[in-house]
Amino acid sequence: MKSFALLFLVLICGMGGLGHKLKPKKRSNGEEINFRTKTKDVCTMSMSGDEEVKLRIECKSRGMSYWCEFTGKPSACRAFRNNPKIYWNQIAAELRKLPHACESTQVLKTTMCQKAPTEALMKQIAAGMEPEDLENQDESLQKTSMTGAGKSSVKKIGKPPILPLIKPTHHGQGSEYETEAMKLAREHCWESLHGFCSYIIGIFRG
């Protein structure tokens, strides 16, 4: 009787251990994997979700940044349920072979889930690209335009041209009378009184 009870306990413990071994591992949810593409783009892929998983890839490349998102149900693949970490590492390894992590990657495939149903595939649903430091570029453009406008609005103010003084010339009978009066004053008056004499003679002749 005692031997039968011991055999029964051994069978129960063995079944419990077998069930523990067959229990699927937890999915690697919320983890991040860093990698570089063939052209040295620095990328990060992050996973979120349970049954339907969302994968987001963000990369930086020579002053530009781009991203893409994938969705799928990799849990439909038995190999993924057993070891999801190897699954994501295989995807990162395939992305490292590409020059661009988001181009020509409409569907992500792994060797461990080749025979899995199509719903297990990760399919691309969105992608985008934008320049880095966009705000700094806008500020630099504004400063450049303001500097150019300031330079164009400043004008050098030169000195006004100096016009030569032109002495007025008198024409007509008045000037002739003054000339004759001066001649008579020189002939008939002392030198110191030439101006006065020519003035008097001009009055009488006018």
Structural domain harbouring 107? 30-131
pLDDT at residue 89 above 70?
yes
Give the pLDDT score at 146.
56
Number of domains, the chain: 1
178 located within any domain: no
149 located within any domain: no
How many CB atoms neighbour CB 31 within 10 A?
13
How far lies 195's CA from each of 75, 135, 186, 201, in Å?
A: 128, 87, 9, 10
How far lies 205's CA from each of 178, 183, 202, in Å?
A: 10, 13, 5
154 located within any domain: no
pLDDT tens string 115-143: 999 999 999 999 999 887 654 555 555 65
pLDDT at residue 20 above 90?
no
pLDDT at residue 166 above 50?
no
User: Which pTM value belongs to this model?
Assistant: 0.53
pLDDT at residue 22 above 50?
no
**Residue 194 vs residue 71, higher pLDDT:** 71
124 located within any domain: yes
**Residue 15 vs residue 186, higher pLDDT:** 186
50 located within any domain: yes
189 located within any domain: no
113 located within any domain: yes
14 located within any domain: no
Give the pLDDT score at 137.
57
The length of the chain is 206
Give the pLDDT score at 6.
46
